[in-house]
Amino acid sequence: MGKQPFLSVISNKQEIYYPTYEESREYQAKLMGLWEQQQRVLGYTEHTIALGTKCLKEFLDVSNKFIWEVTMSDADKFYLGLVGRGLAYSTRRKYQSTISTFLEYLKTRHGHEIWERYKVQVPNLLDKFNRYYHRKDDHNGQVIPPKPELLARFWNGMKEEMKTARKYSTVARDYTLFRMLELTGLRTHEIIMMDVKDCRFDLGEKGKMHVRFGKGSKGSGYKRRWVPMLDDVDILLRWYLERVRPLFTTETVGPLFLSEGGLRLNKHTARKNLARRQEKMGFTKEEIFSPHQLRHSFATRQTELGVDLLTLKELLGHADVATTFNYSNPGSDHLEKRVRMAQEKWQNQLLNFNKKGE
């Protein structure tokens, strides 16, 4: 027999390299940066992106783990903490939506890369037992617009305050802003972000307002629209621009509503001022209304005047007419009126038809 060949065992095992904590921290930061970039590609606003990043960082800080290490148990504990803080259902759902979207992005774009680095799959943190589904009571029930007599009391109170106020300018400014909320149905942010140039008295029958910062759907960019100056809004704005705004600045351009310091009025300040002025007039906690309720008041009034839902949808800047439907709260007398109008319409058509037949 010839020589036996020399056999040697060659190990196919490779030395596994585990990233250090610092490397993992930098890698996670890189992933979050890429995700933010992808959000910009989709057209999300910087404000929406910043809120999403804040939600993610809060979740990761609480879990004290890297995103590829978190478990469903970590997610449950975090959601329980949100409940303990008394956050609204809709707010908790936004946290969950942000986390879920980020994980889906990682699975699609970086899942293989994460497996190569850490030998783990991107986790799935949601199931039917902890998922927050969209529900109709996100805003703590139906929004009820303030009663007409309550509004009349408030407007009269503000007019009286303007007569004796030490700071006439701020009272007159707030009166104009609050009246615009009621008469136009615009959101607080939409009005606050308006400039003088957006008041176009030369357009339409009485003028139009250019809303440049309308709310976009699902975090997309701002939506622009033109809103007519209904219900003597043109008279209100002309008075404000000629008699009130010059008390804040000599400039005839720039923000429509200014603070005492000459800067654009903050929307949070506007909301606080509305509540504060009602409290000063002796309104009870149950009577005090919000800017959003004034928006609903506008929708209800337009519905009672016969404005159709599609037109109202455009005025309010809604993406879905179903949302507009929830904004109008006409009284029972309005329903009776509409039925009578429909009956009279058909009766007149029938009479006209019979006359033609004769």
For 166-178, write each residue's pLDDT tens digit: 999 999 999 999 9
For residue 223, the model assigns a pLDDT of: 83
- How far apart, in whole angstroms, are the C-alpha atoms of residue 271 and residue 178? 9
Instruction: Examine the pLDDT at 357 and tell me if it is beyond 60.
Output: no
Does 350 map to a domain? no
Q: Where are the strands (E) in the chain, listed by range?
A: 199-200, 208-214, 223-228
Instruction: Examine the pLDDT at 305 and tell me if it is beyond 90.
Output: no
Per residue in 245-271, pLDDT (tens digit) is 999 999 999 999 999 999 999 888 999
Q: Are 88 and 170 within one domain?
A: no
Per the structure, the complete domain to which residue 325 belongs is given by 148-334
Q: Are 78 and 223 within one domain?
A: no
Q: Are 163 and 267 within one domain?
A: yes
Instruction: Give 344's pLDDT tier (boundaries 50, 70, 90).
Output: low
Backbone torsions φ then ψ of 306, nearest 5 degrees: 100, 10
Poorest-confidence range of 16-30, 88-102, 123-137? Answer: 123-137
H-run or E-run covering 345: helix 332-357
Instruction: Give 219's pLDDT tier (boundaries 50, 70, 90).
Output: low
Q: Are 170 and 311 within one domain?
A: yes
Instruction: Examine the pLDDT at 137 and tell me if it is beyond 50.
Output: no
pTM score: 0.58
Q: Are 248 and 156 within one domain?
A: yes
- How far apart, in whole angstroms, are the C-alpha atoms of residue 96 and residue 136? 17
For 303, other C-beta atoms within 10 Å of its C-beta total 20
Structure token digits, residue 219: 């975090």
Q: Are 186 and 76 within one domain?
A: no
